[in-house]
Amino acid sequence: MTERLDALATRLGTLLMARGLRLVTAESCTGGWVAKVVTDVAGSSAWFDRGFVTYSNAAKEAMLGVRPPTLEASGSVSEPVVLELVAGALERSQAQVAVAVSGIAGPGGGSEDKPVGTVWFAWSIPDGPPWTRRLQFAGDRDEVRHQAVRFALEGLIERLAGQSRSDG
């Protein structure tokens, strides 16, 4: 059985608290759903700093400093954009850990090279470069977004838990 989103958020909070770290989110296609899930956890104010919902390109530029040439060259659903989103979120917050999500949830908006369900992720934690991943999710708009939220949380947990083990 797949772990519930609230359980993932609780586990993430435990890892962040153990390391004295705070989280920031930069979300596009998930519309703040990652932030909602983590703030559903009682006491999350101890480890969650803030969330940015940058749905439009103008918001990505104004709120998180994504450069117009990056958006023009790569489009908002791309590795260069999620890397700029995650960097901008860290620069504009009090957090040390960040996740960025940008994708095409559908039902429209897809293209041949970026079909509906395409989602790019970027994560950043201290003591290492950011890392990215592109996934192709199946399902309707809600299912794509739900899977993206889950993967965003799982990516943070995986990296933080792995770092904790290597530090011990």
Residue 85 above 60 pLDDT?
yes
pTM of the predicted model over 0.75: yes
Q: What is the pLDDT of residues 24-77, one digit of tens each?
A: 999 999 999 999 999 999 999 999 999 999 999 999 999 999 999 999 999 999
**How far is the C-alpha of 96 from the C-alpha of 4, rounded, in Å?**
25
**How far is the C-alpha of 145 from the C-alpha of 33, rounded, in Å?**
8
Task: Provide CATH code, domain 5-162.
Answer: 3.90.950.20
Burial environment of residue 50 by CB neighbours within 10 A (0 to 12, 13 to 18, 19 or more): middle
State the pLDDT at residue 1: 55
Q: What is the pLDDT of residues 109-123, one digit of tens each?
A: 989 899 999 999 999
Confidence of residue 155 (pLDDT cuts 50, 70, 90): very high
